Chain A
Amino acid sequence: MSEPAPVIEMRNVVKRFGDFTAIHDANIDLRPGEIHALVGENGAGKSTLMNVLYGLLPRSGGEVLLRGEPVDYGSPNEAIAAGIGMVPQHFKLANSFTVAENIILGSEPTRGFNRLDRRRAAEETAEISRRFGLEVQPGDVVGDLAVGLRQQVEILKTLYRKAEVLIFDEPTAVLTPQETRELFNTMRNLAAAGNTIVFITHKLGEVLAVSDRISVMKQGRIVATLDNRDVTAQQIAALMVGRSVILRVDKAPPSELGAPLLRIRDLCARGERGEVAVDNLSLDVRAGEIVGLAGVQGNGQDELVECIAGLRRRASGDIEICGKPTGRTPGDNRDLGLAYVPADRAHVGLSLESGLWENLSIGHLESFRWGPFMRTGAARKRAGELIERFDVRGGEIDKFAGSLSGGNQQKVQIARELTRPAPLIIAEQPSQGVDIGAIESIHRILVEMRDAGRAVFVISADLDEIFSISDRILVIYRGRIVADLAAEDTDQEEVGRYMGGLEDRPRDGASPERTAHVG
């Protein structure tokens, strides 16, 4: 392949925040018609670099060339005008508006007297949609659309503004495997039409599946730009973390299973808007096994976990922890033998504005009781020990939890929860926002817990994670368990189909992908 002239060149770009340098001398070329993956751990600087390109952040040094001309965007509007578009991770759509209205919002077509030209908006939307093989209808209300389709609306929005460089920020985080495949098809179509796609992710399987070239970022530097043909996932991973990592946890097959420590029968629960979120759900998790609950976010797993933890009232049904019915409060359930690592670290699992020792002490308070007094010295000492044992980086006992990175926050939660003498462990999205090295050690701890005879229930939106550690995989779809599979007898395709609902028509013509198994 001859190398076409790059549409965008970033030369020695530097970005500093105060005395902290987030981007060191980054160099990257983006060519027309390519899908360029930007990979790296959380905190490596991927989003920061792209935010500089998109005009969200002013750069501190270096230059950006657009078709050979130096440019300097003060705001995203200028970047958009120059043909750069961003598909954000968190959609910025008005749910009560139609697709067409959302797409034209901010650059409305008008006819005489500045009146909104709805018909033209709808026609143009439909036309772009057709051209790139997207499924959304201009008249659909965004709030009614599935997540994958909302993402298409975001894509259409950038295309409507004549973007030629599209930045996708972690686009697959919220998608089912099927939706992910469709997204990849869309990306290929866009690239084939001459657009440039930047694909920010940390999922190596996806990188290999779709990208033409791969730039790896580590600690604010672009450490390599590689052709997809030449690399393996291990090589990329090694570049990302500086060493080889094993993405599958080594574990012995489960030993003898014990009694069910979590037993749920006919559970029903309602969500925030009063909708039925958990619908007659039953499941067991036994001592000595790791059960993974797979499912696309929003299918009732949050409500299910909150019911188990005691954070949500159930509508009906029974939950037993270690053979006893659950109580009314999280405190009751903890006393029954529950350790719970919540997904929502910022609001539930941690107090970001409190010191680490305080975060590590809650749930263990009784062990520091001395009459009405609290042995704070003992609590602080224990916190120091846990920080060391669980390798919480940058951890000082008085430091605020909010000052830690996501991975280290997760370690704080895990240190606190897994040191409780609790037979039942519920880990919700344990590797969310956690870098690869930490994921590995978190998974290893969970396996150790299983081997020690505890029951481990892992809820994750990440199939790699589910497959990496589960002995048994449950799939939740619309509040029900739709599959109960032994991990060794199934694969991601099968689980993915269950996640998308078995009733869905099989998607013919989708090309088989390299699945994300590595190692």
Chain B
Amino acid sequence: MSAEVSVPPARRSITASPIFGKIAASLVALFISFLLGALLVLALGESPLEVYGLLISGSLVGMPNFLVTLQMMSPLIFTGLAVAISFRAGLANIGAEGQMLVGALCAGYVGYAVELPALIHLPLCLLAAFVGGLVWALLPALLRVYLNVNEIVVCLMMNPIALLLTGYLSTRVLKAPGPTNKLPDIQPTAELSTFSLFSQANTGLIFALVLCLIFAVVNVRTMRGFEWQMIGKNAKFAYYGGVDVRRRALTVFLVSGGIAGLAGAEQVLGQYRAYYDDFSPGYGFDGIAVAMLAQFNPLAVPLAALLFGALNGGSAVLQMMTGLSKHLVQVLQFIVVLVLAAKLSWDWLKLGRSQTAAPGSDPPAEGPHVTAGDR
């Protein structure tokens, strides 16, 4: 190759994005969210400094508070990881809530109905939860991969179905005697042990962190991880390049569902010690926000979960100390989600426009004209 031809400068729209840029993007989103939150607190007639101070001290300062935060973040790591690996492969598994419920029920059932030594019983319960979540992801996954049915719609429908199904089973079929709608308590052999009176944080948290590590390695160091990412970036390209897109996509979706199911196992085996009907205040949906904040990076998921867990953990202290409602913290979380969603859709719009500006059958427009001219 000897052509000495000058090359026009790089297009500015898509820049190589180093990891610092990504971290900065998330931090900026958080900063904006907290700024908006501060305005809201001011409008409520409270001092933002006091509120944020309480949220921080009530979630991170002191072992009991921190343990509560760990308890709150545990399910979010699982659901956040589940959502993150599916989104990275371009699949929007927003059905983590339903998959978690089904996984939880499976863990709760195996947890009480089977008698085995702990060494076998606990793994079996985890497996049951994984399979339960996986099975619940099967329908949206198959529809998406083989018939190209929008998985978001299907997942959104599967979530309430899961709630009703687990509700039916736990209040009618498998209900433990007593006033509460729950399954019988699990055997001690199936328990994930807790550390403290102050918190239901349990060994499931360690399991979650290990999973994040594993998937960080899978993502960047394995064939599958590489192929998953290529599918997510450009499925047609991956297919053209010889990747078996359908099978890989199916695998990702099912694994994602399985991990969401494990979130249920953590709740049932570690926090509740039995399947409780309708136990989740929306961990599966919070997982979407966690994954977004983590920019779908498994190593960042625990950090994002820590933030959401801390907000929830600090919430009780905030309520005790100020009489403010729990809804304030929820609104703060929603603001984070909104800002992240705005950022994502902004990126998506930018990407969509730059791609339509350079359609494949025609030469890409010249130099910077692509972005700057297309207003």
Does chain A touch chain B in the assembled complex, meaning CB atoms less than 8 Å apart? yes
Residues on A lying within 8 angstroms of B by beta carbon are 17-18, 20, 22, 41-48, 51, 56-57, 89-90, 170, 173, 218-219, 241-243, 297, 302, 309, 311, 329-331, 334-335, 340, 342-355, 358, 361-363, 365, 368-369, 372-374, 376, 389-391, 393-394, 396, 398-400, 402-409, 411, 432-438, 440-441, 445
Question: Which B residues, 330 to 365, have Cβ-Cβ distances below 8 Å to chain A?
Answer: 351, 354-355, 358-365
Cβ-defined contact, B221 with A374, below 8 A: yes
B222 at the interface (CB under 8 A from A): yes
- Check if B373 sits within 8 Å of A57, measured CB to CB: yes
B215 to chain A, nearest CB (A): 13
C-alpha spacing A362/B241, complex, angstroms: 6
Cβ contacts A to B, 19 pairs, < 8 Å? A18-B368, A57-B369, A90-B362, A243-B4, A331-B242, A346-B359, A347-B360, A351-B238, A353-B351, A358-B226, A362-B241, A363-B241, A365-B226, A368-B223, A369-B223, A372-B223, A374-B222, A400-B14, A402-B13
**B-side contacts of A334, CB under 8 Å:** 242
Contacts of B364 in A (CB 8 A): 42, 346, 405-406, 409, 433
Measured between C-beta atoms, what is the minimum distance from A111 to chain B in Å?
35
A308 to B13, CA, bound (A): 34
Q: Which residues of A contact B7 (CB under 8 A)?
A: 43, 393-394, 405, 407-408
Q: Which chain A residues border B368 with CB–CB below 8 Å?
A: 17-18, 20, 22, 48
Within 8 A of A (CB), among B244-270: 244
Q: Output the nearest chain A residue to B6 by Cβ-Cβ distance.
A: A219
Q: Is A17 a contact partner of B372 (Cβ separation < 8 A)?
A: yes
Cβ–Cβ contact A47 & B234, under 8 A: no
Most chain A beta carbons < 10 A, residue from B8, B221, B244: B8
Which residues of A are found within 8 Å of B244, using beta-carbon distances? Answer: 329, 331
Counting chain A CB atoms within 10 Å of each CB, the highest count among B3, B224, B358 belongs to: B3
> Closest CB of chain A to B218's CB: distance in Å?
9
Cβ of B98 under 8 Å from chain A: no
**Is B233 close to A, CB under 8 A?**
yes
B198 within 8 A of A: no
Interface residue from A344, A355, A363, A389 paired with B361 (Cβ < 8 Å): A344
Specify which chain A residues have a CB less than 8 angstroms from the CB of B226 in the assembled complex: 358, 361, 365, 374, 376
Closest residue to A340 on the B side, CB-wise?
B240
> Which of these, B12, B243, B359, B362, contacts A17 with CB under 8 Å?
B12
How far apart are A459's CB and chain B's nearest CB, in angstroms?
12
Q: Which residues of A contact B8 (CB under 8 A)?
A: 42-44, 219, 405
Report whether A441 and B1 are in contact in the complex, using a CB–CB cutoff of 8 Å.
yes
Q: Min CB distance, B249 to chain A, in Å?
A: 13
Task: Collect the chain B residues with CB atoms within 8 Å of residue A369's CB.
Answer: 223
Please name the 10 residue pairs, one residue from A and one from B, whose CB atoms are nearest each other, closest first: A344-B360, A433-B363, A437-B5, A43-B8, A362-B241, A331-B242, A437-B3, A393-B7, A391-B1, A402-B14
Is B237 a contact partner of A362 (Cβ separation < 8 A)?
yes
Q: Give Cα distance in the complex from A435 to B365, angstroms.
A: 12
User: Taking the nearest CB of chain A, how far is it from the CB of B42, in angstroms?
Assistant: 37
Q: Does B53 contact A (CB under 8 A)?
A: no
